[in-house]
Amino acid sequence: MDEKKLYEQKLQAQLDEWKAEIDKLKAKADGASADAKMEFSQQIQDLELKLEDGSNRLSELSKASGEAWETLREGVESAWNSLSNAMAEAAGKFKR
C-alpha cells in the first residue's frame, strides 16, 4: 500500500475516533444543567464544524493525485492539529 493510502486510512481512523468522542460529549451534555448544557452545546457545535472541515480536507486529499496530495497534506495537518486541540480542550471542560 502506498504512503498516500496509509495516510488517508490513519486520518479516517482519527476522524472516526473523534466522532465517537463527540457522541460521548453529547451524552454528557444531555445530563448537564441548563446553563452547562448551553455552553456544551456551543462547544459541540464548534467541534462538529471542525470535524466537517477535517472530513472535507480528507476528501480533497483522497481525490488529489501525484504531487498535489503532498501540497494538500500541509493544510490537512493544520486542520488536524486544530481539531485535536479543540477536542482536548472540550474534553477538559466537560470533565469539570
Expressed as residue numbers, the domain containing 40 is 3-94
Mean pLDDT along residues 8-15:
92
The number of domains in the chain is 1
| 54-to-19, 27, 83 alpha-carbon distances in Å | 11, 23, 8
- pLDDT (tens digit, 9 = 90+) per residue, 14-33? 999 999 999 988 888 888 88
Return the pLDDT at 1: 66
Return the pLDDT at 20: 94
Averaged confidence pLDDT in the chain? 86
Return the pLDDT at 14: 93
Which grid cell is 71? 501540497
CA nearest to 82, candidates 38, 52, 41? 52
- pLDDT (tens digit, 9 = 90+) per residue, 68-89? 878 888 888 888 888 889 888 8
- Prediction pTM value: 0.82
